[in-house]
Amino acid sequence: MARNGSFLGETAQLVGAVGRAMGMTLRNFFRRPVTVRYPTVKRVYPDRFRGILALTYDKDTGEENCIGCRLCEFICPPQVIKVEMLKAEKRNWAKTFTLELYACEFCELCVQVCPTDAIIMLKTFDLATADRRELLLDKDRLHALGLQHEPSWATGNRLRDMQAPPKPVRAEGKAAGKAEPAEPAE
Ligand code: SF4
Ligand code: SF4
């Protein structure tokens, strides 16, 4: 008799569990999907999305922004950047610039230290390939990617400004055009 009781109890538990699972399935069946049909449909990424890396040109002069200073090379933890500097009279250039994207950690340190906003991150990750060699990016490829995709909000100068200590209140008052207290008359 006791065995019968435990059998009925276990069966009731099993039926209850199956019922709860089916209920959950039914609820999800009528929910709006959270996925999109990529790549036909692409999500709009937030401004601060940080994806693959690229090099930039100066919008006004059309010149390459990179001055070959190699700061990005020195800061990169997995050492995937290699830069050769070309010294010139008015400014320096990157003679060669390579980035092994397949070993990049996407830590963004290279962007943070770049003095000329030459290296940036893009609002895309769309570079999937079955061939690792395609992820060894040279200077031309990095510039082409920069023209092809939307840049992330973050540039070296913006990130440094954001991290700088806040300006003193007095200086802010001046910037807002507030009058300084008048000197007492002698
Ligand atoms: S994001 Fe980080 S790991 Fe990738 S290249 Fe820049 S510094 Fe190196
Ligand atoms: S990308 Fe920026 S940090 Fe790297 S070498 Fe060029 S100027 Fe220097």
Per-residue pLDDT tens digits for 105-148? 999 999 999 999 999 999 998 888 999 999 999 999 999 999 99
pLDDT of residue 172: 53
With a 6 Å cutoff on the Cβ, whether 114 touches ligand 1 is no
Residue 178 has pLDDT above 70, yes or no: no
Residue 186 has pLDDT above 90, yes or no: no
Ligand nearest to the CA of 156: 2
pLDDT category, 27, cuts 50, 70, 90?
very high
What pTM, to 2 d.p., does this model score?
0.76
Question: Position 138: which residue type?
Answer: D
Please tell me the distance between residue 81's alpha carbon and the centre of ligand 2 in angstroms: 10
The residue whose C-alpha atom lies closest to atom 7 belonging to ligand 1 is 76
Please tell me the distance between residue 75's alpha carbon and the centre of ligand 1 in angstroms: 8
With a 6 Å cutoff on the Cβ, whether 67 touches ligand 2 is yes
Probe target for ligand 2 pocket from 86, 114, 121, 145, with the most ligand atoms within 8 Å of CB:
114
With a 6 Å cutoff on the Cβ, whether 93 touches ligand 2 is no
**Host H or E run for residue 97:** strand 93-100
The structure tokens 């400014």 sit at: 91
With a 6 Å cutoff on the Cβ, whether 114 touches ligand 2 is yes
Are residues 73 and 82 in contact, defined by beta-carbon separation less than 8 angstroms? yes
- Which residue pairs from 126-132 have beta carbons closer than 8 angstroms and sit at least 24 positions apart in sequence? 126/39, 126/51, 126/52, 127/52, 127/101, 132/102
Q: Over the chain, what is the mean pLDDT?
A: 89
E strand segments, 101-165: 119-121, 136-137
Probe target for ligand 2 pocket from 53, 69, 110, 120, with the most ligand atoms within 8 Å of CB:
69
With a 6 Å cutoff on the Cβ, whether 116 touches ligand 2 is yes
3-class SS letters over 27-96 = HHHCCCCCCCCCCCCCCCCCCCCCCCEEECECCCCCCECCCCCCHHHHHCCCCCEEEEEECCCCCCEEEE
3-class secondary structure, 120 = strand
The two tokens of residue 1 are 């008799």
